[in-house]
Amino acid sequence: MIDYDVLVVGAGSGNMLPAHLDGLRVAVIERGPFGGTCLNRGCVPSKMLVYAADVAQTVRAARRYGVDAELRAVDWPAIRDRVFGRTDESARAGFEWRKRSGVDVYTGEARFVGPKVLAVDGKELRAERMILAAGSRPSIPEVPGIDDVARHTTDTIMRVDARPASMVILGGGYIAAEMSHIFGAFGTEITIVERTAKLLSTLDDDIASRFTERCEQRFDVRVAAEVTRVEPAGRGVAVRVEDGRRSEVVQAETLLVATGRTPNSDLLDVEAGGIATHDDGRVITDDTFATNVPGVYAIGDLANETQLKHLANAQMQIAVHNVFHPDDPPRRARFPVLPAAVFADPQIATAGPSERELREQGRSFDVAIRDYADTAFGWAAEDTTGFVKLIADPETRHLISAHIIGPQAAILIQPLVQAISLGNTVEQLARDVLYIHPAPAEVVAQTLLALPAPRD
Ligand SMILES: Cc1cc2nc3c(=O)[nH]c(=O)nc-3n(C[C@H](O)[C@H](O)[C@H](O)COP(=O)(O)OP(=O)(O)OC[C@H]3O[C@@H](n4cnc5c(N)ncnc54)[C@H](O)[C@@H]3O)c2cc1C
């Protein structure tokens, strides 16, 4: 048994340890490359690929602006190697740096074998204080035949040797949205199969509807449809899709499963450590990120319902403080709103509840929608489908939420996230702030002005 003061499982967000360890004996356990999902198979490679996809789409659309350009070819190995040449090196450098940082590094898979005791690489490690940051993995739905076909998840699809000529994507969430944009822009024929009536169905209905319409123009989109069987077919797959009216087999070179992610609490056997989980396997924590076992904290995808890197990072900062300064008053999560973006085409950004959620809560609200097309930037971009939707509290005049679909949505939403978080009123934002002309932000200014005036 080797004793430590602090043990950390997972070197994704879990690797954000303090520079000064105050003489504590600390170890990090990581079974894969340093940097976790985000760096190696998530946010970073996907966004680097999205950038290249956007370039391809811009060339395709060039004629619309009077520019004579032609997309002659897409060099997939070069695109892939630009991405992973950088991220793999960053993961390697992170690992090397961590080993030299005064922290012990174990490279195996950790499992609880008792309260506060982990087994890894044939050794047992014990610590009174732990941070569990073991993340999540793609979940595979129970579809007949799914184990008999060569299938991809986001763990593998971005590193394939040859770009597939055709792909069926199972699922219509943000990963399906981004992957369809990436591979579609590079020339892959895409079919998306989604169980609910719209793509991105957890978002505001107006946003989800517009996004679904736009995708239907680019891809074969099957919504309110179910994959009922998959089988090998030649060098690819045959996917049976049923939508209540018809049953059809779609053939493709590749099947990408993008139906959600499962927390890694089972692999870590948190139960053996006495750690309580929700029914779906997420570790239960409070707002200090403490689990039910005193001294043991959990952050990131292992615990979160909404799996986002900026959330995991912010949680890790709080957990680190609480673990390394147990005698201080605990820091607590205070995130008034959780922003998120979908880096597809069109781009989407959202912060705060959807209109549907507010109705379900019985909450009163004002809403305004303005199109990019009504601004000079919208004319410049020839945008005909983007819009900003803002929702405000009629009594307090505070913004409740913002939903944007269109160019640079992730940038446009950031000041609104600040406004929601800091409690600015609509009047402050609309009248006390200048918006640069003719920047994309003008559509935000116009939407603020379109919200109903205060009632007397
Ligand atoms: C394709 C894709 C795109 C994404 N894009 C975005 C985006 O644009 N923006 C955004 O905010 N989020 C995005 N995400 C989500 C984001 O990647 C995750 O929310 C984030 O990486 C979670 O961080 P984490 O530290 O909780 O887990 P991870 O980064 O997964 O880290 C967990 C680590 O623990 C290790 N581990 C697990 N079990 C054990 C064990 N038993 N023993 C030892 N080590 C173990 C794993 O190997 C892993 O390295 C994306 C995800 C995917 C899949």
Q: Walk along the chain (456 residues) and give the pLDDT tens digit of each residue.
A: 999 999 999 999 999 999 889 899 999 999 999 999 999 999 999 999 999 999 999 999 999 999 999 999 999 999 999 999 999 999 999 999 999 999 999 999 999 999 999 999 999 999 999 999 999 999 999 999 999 999 999 999 999 999 999 999 999 999 999 999 999 999 999 999 999 999 999 999 999 999 999 999 999 999 999 999 999 999 999 999 999 889 999 999 999 999 999 999 999 999 999 999 999 999 999 999 999 999 999 999 999 999 999 999 999 999 999 999 999 999 999 999 999 999 999 999 999 999 999 999 999 999 999 999 999 999 999 999 999 999 999 999 999 999 999 999 999 999 999 999 999 999 999 999 999 999 999 999 999 999 998 876
What are the residues facing 369 on neighbouring strands? 389
Give the C-alpha separation, 84 to 95, whole Å.
16
> What is the distance between the alpha carbons of residues 291 and 130, in angstroms, rounded to a whole number?
10
pLDDT in the model for residue 22 = 86
Q: Given the CA of residue 309, which atom of ligand 1 is nearest to it?
A: 11
**CB 189 within 8 Å of CB 221:** no
Protein residue whose Cα sits closest to atom 8 of ligand 1? 43
Which residue stretches of 134-272 are H helix? 174-185, 205-218
SS3 171: coil
Please tell me the residue having the least CA distance from ligand 1 atom 44.
Answer: 30
Q: Is the CB of 9 under 6 A from ligand 1?
A: yes
CA–CA separation, 174 and 176 (whole Å)? 5
Do residues 246 and 143 make contact, with C-beta atoms less than 8 angstroms apart? no
- How far apart, in Å, are the Cα atoms of 208 and each of 199, 305, 354, 386? 6, 20, 11, 12
Ligand 1 pocket check for 353: Cβ under 6 Å: no
134 CB near ligand 1 (under 6 Å) = yes
Place of tokens 């405000």: 392
**Ligand 1 pocket test: which of 39, 43, 112, 158 has the largest number of ligand atoms within 8 Å of its C-beta?**
43
- The answer, yes or no, to whether any atom of ligand 1 lies below 6 A from the CB of 268, is yes
Active site residue 403: no
- What pLDDT is stored for residue 153 in this prediction? 98
pLDDT at residue 456, as a whole number: 66
298 lines ligand 1 (CB under 6 A): no
- Choose which residue among 140, 309, 320 to substitute to test ligand 1 binding: the one with the highest number of ligand atoms within 8 A of its C-beta: 309
Contacts (Cβ under 8 Å, ≥6 apart) of 81:
none
Q: Give me the pLDDT at residue 300, please.
A: 98
Q: Is the CB of 273 under 6 A from ligand 1?
A: no
pTM to 2 decimal places: 0.97
Q: Specify the ligand 1 atom closest to the Cα of 307.
A: 19
Which residue's structure tokens are 């978002």? 203
Atom index in ligand 1 nearest the CA of residue 301 equals: 26
- Taking CA atoms, 154 is separated from 40, 43, 339, in Å, by 10, 10, 22
Considering the candidates 310, 398, 403, 437, report the single residue annotated as catalytic. Answer: 437
| Ligand 1 atom at minimum distance from 110 CA | 42
Nearest residue (by CA) to ligand 1, atom 21, is 38
Hey, whose CA ends up nearest to atom 38 of ligand 1? 134
User: Which atom of ligand 1 is closest in space to residue 36's alpha carbon?
Assistant: 49
CB of 11 within 6 A of ligand 1: the answer is yes
300 lines ligand 1 (CB under 6 A): yes
> How far is it, in rounded angstroms, from Cα 230 to Cα 249?
9
Residue 349 is predicted with a pLDDT of 98
13 lines ligand 1 (CB under 6 A): yes
- Ligand 1 centroid from CA 310, angstroms: 11
In this structure, the residue with its CA closest to atom 5 of ligand 1 is 43
Q: How many CB atoms lie within 10 A of CB 90?
A: 16
User: Which residues make Cβ contacts (< 8 Å) with residue 430, sequence separation at least 6?
Assistant: 445, 448, 449, 451
Strands 261-263 and 151-152: unpaired
Give the pLDDT confidence score for residue 390 in this predicted structure. 98
Distance in angstroms (rounded) separating the CA atoms of residues 153 and 416:
34
Residue 352 in contact with ligand 1 by CB distance below 6 A = no
The verdict on the CB of residue 164 being under 6 Å from ligand 1 is no
For a pocket test of ligand 1, which of 28, 30, 37 has the largest count of ligand atoms closer than 8 A to its C-beta?
37
